[in-house]
């Protein structure tokens, strides 16, 4: 949280820069495979129609709308603006993004908000939602940790640390950036402003695991891989209420 230097949530640092990773921009260029025939094609006979050359394969992510609850998934491309079907839900001064196409498709009053599309937008919303639910917005935060973070010692340590108390100061989402995306893993940077504490840019990693996106906890047990005070180091896409 922003108000206690001992807390290690996604937005858990005061007005100093986190030690560890900065918010570097990591751009993944998807490989384009070219397929060519091995034999020489004979010249067409007079009057014959030459077949059109096949279209080059697309570099866009594969059209996988996989989700555990049948979401449509929207587009497989990375969003270039706030998703059109996005809505914001206010909880205790914090805002969580939801989308009928990208998720979360299942929302529990006390526990997990889960079931996201296996798309860049689904990964984006998962990173924003899981972080806040795991850091203290969910009453049953232990179930959120168990079901929505990657299993292992860090998961146990996060549960043992206990539920955090979220700050009461209003927090506004300002922007996002998808630093890296594959069908199996995504790195997301979120830009937020908290009243009285300033602006912060934090990054997290989500991983596709057992049919849904899960948050990868940081080596220190926190929900952020890195977090700095101030705007993003590079361009970001505006969104928010």
Instruction: Give pLDDT tens digits for 31-78.
Output: 223 223 333 334 444 444 344 444 444 344 445 578 889 898 888 999
The total of structural domains in the chain comes to: 1
Of 2-16, 122-136, 199-213, the one with minimum mean pLDDT is 2-16
Residues 155-166 have pLDDT tens digits of 999 999 888 888
User: Any idea what the CATH number is for the domain that residue 120 is in?
Assistant: 3.10.450
129 in a domain, yes or no? yes
CA distance 111 to 68: 17
- For residue 93, the enclosing domain spans 87-238
232 in a domain, yes or no? yes
Considering the chain, what percentage of its residues have pLDDT values greater than 90?
52
CA distance 174 to 31: 32
pTM of the full structure? 0.74
Query: Would you call 117 exposed, middle or buried from its count of C-beta atoms within 10 A (0-12, 13-18, 19+)?
Result: buried
Give me the pLDDT at residue 32, please: 28
Q: Is the separation of the CB atoms in 123 and 206 below 8 Å?
A: yes
78 in a domain, yes or no? no
């Amino acid at each position: 949280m922003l108000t206690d230097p001992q807390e290690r949530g996604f937005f858990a640092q005061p007005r100093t820069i986190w030690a560890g990773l900065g918010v570097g921009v990591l751009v993944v260029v998807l490989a384009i495979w070219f397929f060519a025939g091995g034999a020489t094609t004979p010249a067409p006979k007079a009057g014959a129609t030459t077949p059109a050359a096949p279209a080059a394969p697309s570099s866009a992510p594969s059209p996988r709308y996989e989700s555990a609850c049948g979401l449509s998934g929207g587009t497989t491309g990375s969003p270039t603006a706030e998703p059109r079907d996005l809505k914001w839900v206010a909880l205790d001064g914090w805002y969580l993004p939801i989308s009928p196409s990208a998720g979360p498709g299942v929302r529990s009053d006390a526990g997990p908000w889960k079931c996201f599309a296996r798309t860049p937008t689904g990964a984006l919303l998962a990173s924003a939602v899981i972080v806040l639910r795991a850091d203290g917005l969910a009453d049953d935060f232990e179930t959120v940790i168990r079901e929505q973070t990657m299993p292992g010692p860090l998961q146990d340590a996060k549960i043992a640390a206990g539920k955090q108390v979220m700050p009461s100061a209003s927090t506004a989402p300002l922007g996002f950036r998808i630093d890296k995306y594959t069908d199996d893993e995504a790195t997301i940077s979120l830009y937020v402003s908290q009243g009285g504490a300033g602006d912060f840019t934090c990054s997290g990693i989500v991983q596709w695991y057992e049919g849904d996106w899960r948050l990868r906890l940081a080596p220190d047990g926190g929900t952020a891989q890195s977090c700095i005070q101030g705007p993003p180091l590079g361009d970001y896409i505006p969104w928010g209420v």
